[in-house]
Amino acid sequence: MPEEAKPATIDPPRGTYPARVDEKGRLKLPVNFERFLTGQKLFVTTWDERIAKIYPLPVWQENERLLFEDTENPEAAEDLSFIANKYGADAEVDGQGRILMPTDLRRELGIENQPVFIGFFNGVVNVYSKPVYEELEGRAKEKRTEKIGAFRRKGLK
């Protein structure tokens, strides 16, 4: 019997792109993000009520396991889980390359019917409002020479 063909692995997206959450709360994904996320079950939430996180379900399930199994600080784990679930919802990419952002999440983050920025880091798609993006850009530029030097010593090319 012939072996079933396995789907090709799609590399995670690189770069940060402008995007928009429309008046119905749908985030239109840039093409490389759409390709990466299409066909996956997703969980959309926030930890800090500042940055939306779009998790492929297996990555989200790792977080759930980590929180559930934590015995060092179970109250903190429960609190984080509470916030993630308060603002979170399951999602999928629709046929037009959009993801419906949960109502409470988009209102809390001020991204309803607004331009946003979207980037990928550590297995997760991050969605930034313009003010948060500008704040993080400013922080990233601070002491840049020292940051570059520290990582060059670790092998950054």
- 71 vs 116, which has greater pLDDT? 116
Q: Average the pLDDT over 44-55 and give the result.
A: 98
* Tokens 């179970």, located at residue: 74
Q: Is 3 left (phi over 0), alpha (psi -120 to 50) or beta?
A: beta
Residues of the chain with pLDDT > 90, as a percent, come to 92
Confidence of residue 1 (pLDDT cuts 50, 70, 90): very low
pTM of the model: 0.89
Give the pLDDT of residue 70.
85
Pairing outcome for strands 42-46 and 98-100: unpaired
β-partners of residue 55 are 43
Q: Contact, 38 vs 125, CB < 8 A?
A: no
Quick one: the chain helix, strand, coil %, rounded to 5?
A: 40, 25, 35
- Name the CA radius of gyration of the chain, rounded: 18
> Does 108 have pLDDT greater than 60?
yes
| Residue 24 half-sphere exposure toward CB, CA atoms < 13 A | 5
> What residue ranges define each of the domains in the chain, with the CATH number in brackets?
17-130 (3.40.1550.20)
pLDDT at 6 over 50: no
- The encoded tokens of residue 98 equal 């959009």
Question: Residue 4 pLDDT more than 90?
Answer: no
pLDDT one-digit tens code per residue, 60-80? 999 999 999 988 999 999 999
